[in-house]
Amino acid sequence: MRALLLVAPLMLFLVAIFIVPIGMLLTRSVDNREVARTLPNTVAMLSSWDGRTVPDEAIYAALATDLKASSREDVAEIAKRLNYYEAGTRSMLLKTARTIRNAKSPYKDAFVAADAQWETPRYWHLLKRAMPELTAFYLLAALDMSRDETGAITTVTPENAVHIDVLLRTFAVSASVTLLCLLLGYPLAALIARSKGSTANTLLILVLLPFWTSLLVRTSAWVVLLQSRGVVNSALAWLGVIDPSQPLELIYNRIGVLIAMTHILLPFMVLPIYSVMKSIPPVYLRAASSLGAPPLSAFWRIYLPMSMPGVSAGGLLVFILALGYYITPALVGGPRDQMVSYYIAYYSNQVTNWGMAAALSAILLVAVLILYAVYNRMVGIDRLRIG
Protein backbone atom coordinates (compact mmCIF):
# COMPACT_ATOMS: atom_id res chain seq x y z
CA MET A 1 0.00 0.00 0.00
CA ARG A 2 2.81 2.38 0.87
CA ALA A 3 4.41 1.50 -2.45
CA LEU A 4 1.31 2.72 -4.28
CA LEU A 5 1.27 5.93 -2.24
CA LEU A 6 4.80 6.66 -3.46
CA VAL A 7 3.86 5.98 -7.07
CA ALA A 8 0.61 7.98 -6.82
CA PRO A 9 1.93 11.57 -7.16
CA LEU A 10 3.65 10.95 -10.50
CA MET A 11 0.78 8.76 -11.67
CA LEU A 12 -1.80 11.46 -10.93
CA PHE A 13 0.43 14.08 -12.50
CA LEU A 14 0.79 12.05 -15.71
CA VAL A 15 -2.93 11.30 -15.82
CA ALA A 16 -3.70 15.03 -15.61
CA ILE A 17 -0.97 16.39 -17.88
CA PHE A 18 -0.43 13.55 -20.32
CA ILE A 19 -2.98 10.74 -20.39
CA VAL A 20 -6.20 12.79 -20.19
CA PRO A 21 -4.97 15.32 -22.81
CA ILE A 22 -4.07 12.56 -25.27
CA GLY A 23 -7.37 10.82 -24.51
CA MET A 24 -9.22 14.10 -25.18
CA LEU A 25 -7.35 14.49 -28.45
CA LEU A 26 -8.05 10.95 -29.59
CA THR A 27 -11.78 11.24 -28.84
CA ARG A 28 -11.83 14.19 -31.21
CA SER A 29 -11.12 11.72 -34.02
CA VAL A 30 -14.63 10.25 -33.63
CA ASP A 31 -16.35 13.20 -31.95
CA ASN A 32 -19.18 14.73 -33.93
CA ARG A 33 -21.29 16.68 -31.47
CA GLU A 34 -21.12 20.09 -33.18
CA VAL A 35 -24.25 19.70 -35.28
CA ALA A 36 -26.29 18.00 -32.54
CA ARG A 37 -25.26 20.70 -30.06
CA THR A 38 -25.91 23.69 -32.30
CA LEU A 39 -29.04 22.46 -34.09
CA PRO A 40 -30.95 20.39 -31.46
CA ASN A 41 -34.46 21.05 -32.86
CA THR A 42 -33.42 20.37 -36.44
CA VAL A 43 -31.74 17.12 -35.41
CA ALA A 44 -34.90 16.01 -33.57
CA MET A 45 -37.09 16.80 -36.55
CA LEU A 46 -34.75 15.32 -39.17
CA SER A 47 -34.53 11.98 -37.40
CA SER A 48 -38.15 11.31 -38.37
CA TRP A 49 -37.75 12.70 -41.90
CA ASP A 50 -38.16 10.03 -44.59
CA GLY A 51 -35.30 11.46 -46.67
CA ARG A 52 -37.11 11.27 -50.02
CA THR A 53 -39.49 14.20 -50.02
CA VAL A 54 -38.63 17.84 -49.48
CA PRO A 55 -39.06 18.60 -45.74
CA ASP A 56 -42.21 20.38 -44.63
CA GLU A 57 -42.45 23.81 -43.06
CA ALA A 58 -42.00 22.41 -39.52
CA ILE A 59 -38.45 21.30 -40.34
CA TYR A 60 -37.59 24.66 -41.94
CA ALA A 61 -38.97 26.36 -38.83
CA ALA A 62 -36.87 24.12 -36.57
CA LEU A 63 -33.68 24.99 -38.47
CA ALA A 64 -34.61 28.69 -38.39
CA THR A 65 -35.16 28.54 -34.60
CA ASP A 66 -31.80 26.79 -34.13
CA LEU A 67 -29.92 29.23 -36.35
CA LYS A 68 -31.47 32.23 -34.57
CA ALA A 69 -30.58 30.79 -31.18
CA SER A 70 -26.94 29.98 -31.94
CA SER A 71 -23.92 32.24 -31.97
CA ARG A 72 -22.03 33.19 -35.11
CA GLU A 73 -19.04 31.07 -33.97
CA ASP A 74 -21.16 27.95 -33.57
CA VAL A 75 -22.73 28.41 -36.99
CA ALA A 76 -19.28 28.96 -38.48
CA GLU A 77 -18.11 25.74 -36.86
CA ILE A 78 -20.88 23.56 -38.30
CA ALA A 79 -20.55 25.33 -41.64
CA LYS A 80 -16.89 24.26 -41.66
CA ARG A 81 -17.90 20.78 -40.57
CA LEU A 82 -20.43 20.42 -43.44
CA ASN A 83 -17.87 21.71 -45.89
CA TYR A 84 -15.72 18.59 -45.22
CA TYR A 85 -18.56 16.60 -46.78
CA GLU A 86 -19.03 18.87 -49.73
CA ALA A 87 -17.09 21.94 -50.79
CA GLY A 88 -19.23 25.05 -51.11
CA THR A 89 -21.71 24.23 -48.33
CA ARG A 90 -19.82 26.46 -45.93
CA SER A 91 -20.55 29.77 -47.66
CA MET A 92 -24.08 28.66 -48.42
CA LEU A 93 -24.91 27.95 -44.79
CA LEU A 94 -23.23 31.14 -43.55
CA LYS A 95 -25.19 33.21 -46.04
CA THR A 96 -28.44 31.46 -45.14
CA ALA A 97 -27.83 31.97 -41.42
CA ARG A 98 -27.36 35.72 -41.97
CA THR A 99 -30.63 35.97 -43.92
CA ILE A 100 -32.64 33.80 -41.55
CA ARG A 101 -31.74 35.89 -38.48
CA ASN A 102 -34.14 38.58 -39.70
CA ALA A 103 -36.69 36.28 -41.37
CA LYS A 104 -40.20 35.52 -40.19
CA SER A 105 -42.45 32.52 -40.79
CA PRO A 106 -43.17 30.86 -43.17
CA TYR A 107 -39.51 29.98 -43.17
CA LYS A 108 -39.41 27.75 -46.21
CA ASP A 109 -39.72 30.78 -48.51
CA ALA A 110 -36.97 32.60 -46.63
CA PHE A 111 -34.61 29.62 -46.99
CA VAL A 112 -35.31 29.24 -50.68
CA ALA A 113 -34.85 32.99 -51.12
CA ALA A 114 -31.43 32.71 -49.47
CA ASP A 115 -30.43 29.78 -51.68
CA ALA A 116 -32.61 27.90 -54.11
CA GLN A 117 -30.90 24.62 -53.26
CA TRP A 118 -32.71 24.46 -49.91
CA GLU A 119 -35.70 23.30 -51.89
CA THR A 120 -33.97 20.02 -52.86
CA PRO A 121 -33.42 17.20 -50.32
CA ARG A 122 -29.64 17.21 -50.91
CA TYR A 123 -28.60 19.64 -48.20
CA TRP A 124 -30.96 18.09 -45.73
CA HIS A 125 -29.21 14.80 -46.43
CA LEU A 126 -25.90 16.44 -45.65
CA LEU A 127 -27.30 17.74 -42.35
CA LYS A 128 -28.68 14.33 -41.55
CA ARG A 129 -25.33 12.69 -42.30
CA ALA A 130 -23.58 15.15 -39.97
CA MET A 131 -26.05 14.50 -37.12
CA PRO A 132 -24.70 11.38 -35.31
CA GLU A 133 -22.62 12.15 -32.23
CA LEU A 134 -19.95 9.66 -33.23
CA THR A 135 -18.37 9.55 -36.66
CA ALA A 136 -15.84 7.45 -38.51
CA PHE A 137 -15.52 10.31 -40.98
CA TYR A 138 -12.06 11.52 -39.90
CA LEU A 139 -10.56 8.08 -39.46
CA LEU A 140 -11.83 7.10 -42.90
CA ALA A 141 -10.58 10.37 -44.35
CA ALA A 142 -7.16 9.73 -42.84
CA LEU A 143 -7.07 6.57 -44.95
CA ASP A 144 -8.43 8.41 -48.01
CA MET A 145 -11.86 6.84 -47.69
CA SER A 146 -15.32 8.26 -47.22
CA ARG A 147 -18.96 7.20 -47.18
CA ASP A 148 -21.21 7.95 -50.13
CA GLU A 149 -24.90 8.90 -49.82
CA THR A 150 -25.90 5.28 -49.30
CA GLY A 151 -23.42 4.91 -46.44
CA ALA A 152 -21.08 2.54 -48.26
CA ILE A 153 -17.34 3.06 -47.75
CA THR A 154 -15.54 4.15 -50.91
CA THR A 155 -12.10 5.47 -51.71
CA VAL A 156 -11.89 9.17 -52.50
CA THR A 157 -10.93 10.45 -55.95
CA PRO A 158 -7.18 10.27 -56.67
CA GLU A 159 -6.75 14.06 -56.64
CA ASN A 160 -8.20 14.19 -53.11
CA ALA A 161 -6.25 11.17 -51.87
CA VAL A 162 -3.33 12.61 -49.93
CA HIS A 163 -3.17 10.74 -46.65
CA ILE A 164 -2.27 7.25 -47.88
CA ASP A 165 0.56 8.94 -49.74
CA VAL A 166 1.75 10.61 -46.54
CA LEU A 167 1.52 7.38 -44.54
CA LEU A 168 3.37 5.39 -47.20
CA ARG A 169 6.01 8.12 -47.40
CA THR A 170 6.41 8.06 -43.62
CA PHE A 171 6.98 4.29 -43.75
CA ALA A 172 9.31 4.57 -46.76
CA VAL A 173 11.48 7.28 -45.17
CA SER A 174 11.59 5.41 -41.84
CA ALA A 175 12.50 2.13 -43.57
CA SER A 176 15.22 3.80 -45.65
CA VAL A 177 16.69 5.49 -42.58
CA THR A 178 16.62 2.16 -40.70
CA LEU A 179 18.42 0.43 -43.56
CA LEU A 180 21.06 3.17 -43.84
CA CYS A 181 21.61 3.09 -40.08
CA LEU A 182 22.05 -0.66 -40.25
CA LEU A 183 24.54 -0.47 -43.13
CA LEU A 184 26.59 2.19 -41.33
CA GLY A 185 26.03 1.01 -37.78
CA TYR A 186 26.86 -2.66 -38.11
CA PRO A 187 30.53 -2.29 -39.07
CA LEU A 188 31.02 0.46 -36.50
CA ALA A 189 29.49 -1.69 -33.75
CA ALA A 190 31.70 -4.60 -34.84
CA LEU A 191 34.76 -2.37 -34.75
CA ILE A 192 33.98 -1.15 -31.22
CA ALA A 193 33.19 -4.68 -30.05
CA ARG A 194 36.55 -6.06 -31.20
CA SER A 195 38.58 -3.06 -30.01
CA LYS A 196 40.06 -3.22 -26.56
CA GLY A 197 40.40 -0.92 -23.58
CA SER A 198 40.85 2.74 -24.30
CA THR A 199 40.35 2.41 -28.08
CA ALA A 200 36.90 0.91 -27.50
CA ASN A 201 36.18 3.57 -24.91
CA THR A 202 37.18 6.41 -27.24
CA LEU A 203 35.09 5.03 -30.08
CA LEU A 204 32.13 4.64 -27.75
CA ILE A 205 32.43 8.24 -26.58
CA LEU A 206 32.57 9.38 -30.22
CA VAL A 207 29.22 7.62 -30.72
CA LEU A 208 27.75 9.01 -27.51
CA LEU A 209 28.75 12.63 -28.12
CA PRO A 210 26.45 13.17 -31.12
CA PHE A 211 23.82 11.13 -29.25
CA TRP A 212 23.81 13.72 -26.49
CA THR A 213 24.08 16.72 -28.74
CA SER A 214 20.76 18.47 -29.16
CA LEU A 215 18.67 17.29 -32.09
CA LEU A 216 18.21 20.87 -33.19
CA VAL A 217 21.97 21.52 -33.08
CA ARG A 218 22.64 18.53 -35.28
CA THR A 219 19.86 19.42 -37.70
CA SER A 220 21.13 23.02 -37.90
CA ALA A 221 24.63 21.70 -38.52
CA TRP A 222 23.36 19.73 -41.52
CA VAL A 223 21.48 22.75 -42.84
CA VAL A 224 24.73 24.73 -42.68
CA LEU A 225 26.80 21.92 -44.23
CA LEU A 226 24.46 20.84 -47.03
CA GLN A 227 23.34 24.23 -48.38
CA SER A 228 24.09 24.99 -52.02
CA ARG A 229 26.82 27.35 -50.76
CA GLY A 230 27.64 25.24 -47.73
CA VAL A 231 30.70 23.37 -46.58
CA VAL A 232 30.05 20.11 -48.48
CA ASN A 233 29.40 21.77 -51.83
CA SER A 234 32.37 24.10 -51.57
CA ALA A 235 34.64 21.22 -50.57
CA LEU A 236 33.44 19.20 -53.57
CA ALA A 237 33.99 22.20 -55.84
CA TRP A 238 37.46 22.72 -54.42
CA LEU A 239 38.28 19.07 -55.06
CA GLY A 240 37.12 19.54 -58.65
CA VAL A 241 34.35 16.94 -58.29
CA ILE A 242 31.61 19.40 -59.22
CA ASP A 243 31.35 22.66 -61.11
CA PRO A 244 31.14 25.48 -58.51
CA SER A 245 28.37 27.19 -60.49
CA GLN A 246 26.23 24.05 -60.27
CA PRO A 247 26.22 22.90 -56.65
CA LEU A 248 24.56 19.61 -55.77
CA GLU A 249 21.09 19.90 -54.32
CA LEU A 250 21.65 18.16 -51.02
CA ILE A 251 19.00 19.83 -48.89
CA TYR A 252 15.27 20.59 -48.93
CA ASN A 253 14.80 17.24 -50.62
CA ARG A 254 14.80 13.53 -49.77
CA ILE A 255 18.62 13.31 -49.75
CA GLY A 256 18.83 15.90 -46.98
CA VAL A 257 16.16 14.13 -44.92
CA LEU A 258 17.92 10.77 -45.25
CA ILE A 259 21.36 12.18 -44.39
CA ALA A 260 20.22 14.16 -41.34
CA MET A 261 17.85 11.51 -39.96
CA THR A 262 20.41 8.75 -40.42
CA HIS A 263 22.97 10.86 -38.59
CA ILE A 264 20.59 11.54 -35.72
CA LEU A 265 19.33 7.97 -35.34
CA LEU A 266 22.61 6.10 -35.98
CA PRO A 267 23.61 5.87 -32.28
CA PHE A 268 20.28 4.12 -31.53
CA MET A 269 21.42 1.41 -33.97
CA VAL A 270 25.08 1.20 -32.93
CA LEU A 271 24.54 0.90 -29.18
CA PRO A 272 22.18 -2.15 -29.11
CA ILE A 273 24.19 -4.01 -31.77
CA TYR A 274 27.41 -3.27 -29.92
CA SER A 275 26.06 -4.55 -26.61
CA VAL A 276 25.03 -7.85 -28.22
CA MET A 277 28.33 -8.20 -30.13
CA LYS A 278 30.30 -7.59 -26.96
CA SER A 279 28.78 -10.75 -25.50
CA ILE A 280 29.78 -12.99 -28.46
CA PRO A 281 32.82 -14.95 -27.27
CA PRO A 282 35.68 -14.47 -29.80
CA VAL A 283 36.61 -18.09 -29.18
CA TYR A 284 33.62 -19.17 -31.35
CA LEU A 285 35.12 -17.51 -34.40
CA ARG A 286 38.50 -19.01 -33.67
CA ALA A 287 36.87 -22.42 -33.30
CA ALA A 288 35.13 -21.96 -36.65
CA SER A 289 38.35 -21.06 -38.43
CA SER A 290 40.30 -23.86 -36.76
CA LEU A 291 37.67 -26.22 -38.15
CA GLY A 292 38.45 -24.84 -41.59
CA ALA A 293 35.79 -22.17 -42.10
CA PRO A 294 37.04 -19.26 -44.22
CA PRO A 295 36.60 -15.88 -42.45
CA LEU A 296 33.59 -14.87 -44.53
CA SER A 297 31.70 -18.06 -43.87
CA ALA A 298 32.61 -17.89 -40.16
CA PHE A 299 31.12 -14.42 -40.16
CA TRP A 300 28.07 -15.43 -42.16
CA ARG A 301 27.27 -18.61 -40.23
CA ILE A 302 28.43 -17.76 -36.71
CA TYR A 303 28.86 -14.04 -36.06
CA LEU A 304 25.93 -12.63 -38.03
CA PRO A 305 23.28 -14.99 -36.58
CA MET A 306 24.62 -14.38 -33.08
CA SER A 307 24.44 -10.60 -33.54
CA MET A 308 20.88 -10.66 -34.91
CA PRO A 309 19.17 -9.84 -31.57
CA GLY A 310 21.08 -6.55 -31.55
CA VAL A 311 20.18 -5.88 -35.18
CA SER A 312 16.47 -6.41 -34.56
CA ALA A 313 16.51 -4.33 -31.37
CA GLY A 314 18.34 -1.46 -33.05
CA GLY A 315 16.34 -1.73 -36.25
CA LEU A 316 12.99 -1.67 -34.47
CA LEU A 317 14.02 1.23 -32.25
CA VAL A 318 15.29 3.34 -35.15
CA PHE A 319 12.19 2.58 -37.21
CA ILE A 320 9.81 3.47 -34.36
CA LEU A 321 11.64 6.70 -33.57
CA ALA A 322 11.79 7.67 -37.26
CA LEU A 323 8.01 7.24 -37.69
CA GLY A 324 7.32 10.12 -35.30
CA TYR A 325 9.95 12.56 -36.61
CA TYR A 326 8.85 16.11 -37.19
CA ILE A 327 11.63 18.65 -36.62
CA THR A 328 14.30 17.22 -38.91
CA PRO A 329 12.15 16.62 -42.03
CA ALA A 330 10.52 20.02 -41.48
CA LEU A 331 13.92 21.75 -41.49
CA VAL A 332 15.85 19.80 -44.15
CA GLY A 333 13.07 18.32 -46.30
CA GLY A 334 11.04 19.70 -49.15
CA PRO A 335 7.25 19.74 -49.39
CA ARG A 336 7.29 16.18 -50.77
CA ASP A 337 9.30 14.85 -47.82
CA GLN A 338 7.04 15.78 -44.92
CA MET A 339 5.95 12.89 -42.77
CA VAL A 340 2.74 12.21 -40.87
CA SER A 341 3.85 14.33 -37.88
CA TYR A 342 4.00 17.36 -40.14
CA TYR A 343 0.38 16.85 -41.18
CA ILE A 344 -0.74 16.39 -37.57
CA ALA A 345 0.86 19.76 -36.80
CA TYR A 346 -0.64 21.24 -39.97
CA TYR A 347 -4.19 20.15 -39.17
CA SER A 348 -4.05 21.30 -35.55
CA ASN A 349 -2.07 24.51 -36.01
CA GLN A 350 -2.81 25.92 -39.43
CA VAL A 351 -6.28 24.81 -40.53
CA THR A 352 -7.67 23.88 -37.07
CA ASN A 353 -9.26 20.65 -38.17
CA TRP A 354 -9.03 18.79 -34.85
CA GLY A 355 -10.83 15.75 -36.21
CA MET A 356 -8.15 15.16 -38.84
CA ALA A 357 -5.26 15.97 -36.47
CA ALA A 358 -6.72 13.47 -34.00
CA ALA A 359 -7.34 10.76 -36.61
CA LEU A 360 -3.76 10.97 -37.95
CA SER A 361 -2.46 11.00 -34.34
CA ALA A 362 -4.47 7.87 -33.61
CA ILE A 363 -3.03 6.09 -36.65
CA LEU A 364 0.55 7.09 -35.77
CA LEU A 365 0.05 6.15 -32.13
CA VAL A 366 -1.41 2.73 -32.94
CA ALA A 367 1.46 1.98 -35.35
CA VAL A 368 4.05 2.98 -32.73
CA LEU A 369 2.35 1.04 -29.91
CA ILE A 370 2.13 -2.13 -32.03
CA LEU A 371 5.83 -1.86 -32.87
CA TYR A 372 6.70 -1.26 -29.21
CA ALA A 373 4.72 -4.39 -28.28
CA VAL A 374 6.88 -6.32 -30.78
CA TYR A 375 9.99 -4.65 -29.32
CA ASN A 376 8.85 -5.61 -25.83
CA ARG A 377 8.46 -9.27 -26.80
CA MET A 378 11.80 -9.41 -28.60
CA VAL A 379 13.99 -7.19 -26.45
CA GLY A 380 12.08 -6.23 -23.31
CA ILE A 381 10.90 -2.69 -22.82
CA ASP A 382 12.83 -2.50 -19.54
CA ARG A 383 15.99 -2.70 -21.66
CA LEU A 384 15.03 0.64 -23.23
CA ARG A 385 18.11 2.17 -21.69
CA ILE A 386 19.51 5.52 -22.49
CA GLY A 387 23.27 6.10 -22.30
Sign of CA dihedral 262, 268, 271, 277: negative
What distances in angstroms separate CA 315 from CA 137, 232, 324, one per listed residue?
34, 29, 15
Nearer to another protein, 54 or 366 (CB): 366
Q: Shortest Cβ distance from residue 70 to another protein (Å)?
A: 21
Minimum Å gap between C-beta 288 and another protein is 12
Least distance (Å) between residue 157 CB and another protein: 28
Angle between helices 122-129 and 72-85 (to 10 degrees): 100
Site string for another protein, 209-248 (x = CB under 8 A): xx-xxxxxxxxxxxxxx-x-xxx--xx-------------
**Count of positions on this chain that bind another protein (CB under 8 A):** 89
Of residues 26 and 145, the one with the C-beta less far from another protein: 26
Work out the angle at residue 73's Cα, subtended by the Cα atoms of residues 72 and 74, and round it to the nearest 5 degrees: 95
Site residues (CB under 8 A) for another protein, limited to 158-197: 184-185, 187-188, 190-192, 194
- CA-wise closest residue to 171 among 323, 330, 316, 321: 323
Task: State which residue, 94 or 293, has the beta carbon closest to another protein.
Answer: 293
Minimum CB–partner distance for residue 128 and another protein (Å): 29
Output the smallest distance, CB 45 to another protein, in A.
32
Q: Does 46 bind another protein (CB under 8 A)?
A: no
Q: How far is the CB of 14 from another protein (least distance, A)?
A: 6
CB nearer another protein, residue 121 or residue 324: 324
Where in 18-37 is the site for another protein (CB under 8 A)? 18-26, 28
Three-state SS letters, the chain:
CHHHHHHHHHHHHHHHHHHHHHHHHHHCCCECCHHHHHCHHHHHHHCCCCCCCCCCHHHHHHHHHHHHHCCHHHHHHHHHHHHHHCCCHHHHHHHHHHHHHCCCCCHHHHHHHHCHHHHCCHHHHHHHHCCCCECCHHHHHHCCEEECCCCCEEECCHHHCCHHHHHHHHHHHHHHHHHHHHHHHHHHHHHHHHCCHHHHHHHHHHHHHHHHCCHHHHHHHHHHHHCCCCHHHHHHHHCCCCCCCCCCCCCCCHHHHHHHHHHHHHHHHHHHHHHHHCCCCHHHHHHHHHCCCCHHHHHHHHHHHHHHHHHHHHHHHHHHHHHCCCHHHHHHCCHHHCCHHHHHHHHHHHCCCHHHHHHHHHHHHHHHHHHHHHHHHHCCHHHCCCC
- Candidates 8-16, 58-66, 149-157, 305-313; binding stretch for another protein (CB under 8 A): 8-16
87 is a contact residue toward another protein (CB under 8 A): no
Nearer to another protein, 82 or 188 (CB): 188
- Residue 7 or 241: the one with the smaller Cβ distance to another protein is 7
Site for another protein in 318-377 (CB under 8 A): 323-324, 326-327, 331, 341, 344-345, 348-349, 354, 357, 361, 364-365, 368-369, 372
179 or 223: CB nearest another protein: 223
Nearer to another protein, 71 or 349 (CB): 349
Could you tell me the smallest distance in angstroms from the CB atom of residue 326 to another protein? 5
Q: CB-wise, 153 or 384, nearer to another protein?
A: 384
Least separation in angstroms between CB 318 and another protein: 14
Our CB check for another protein shows the closer of 51 and 187 to be 187
Task: Report in angstroms how near the CB of residue 309 gets to another protein at its nearest.
Answer: 20
Rule CB under 8 A: choose which of 112, 161, 172, 205 binds another protein: 205
Closest CA relative to residue 112, chosen from 102, 125, 99, 101: 99
Q: How far is the CB of 323 from another protein (least distance, A)?
A: 7
Footprint (CB under 8 A) of another protein, residues 259-318: 263, 266-267, 289, 294-296
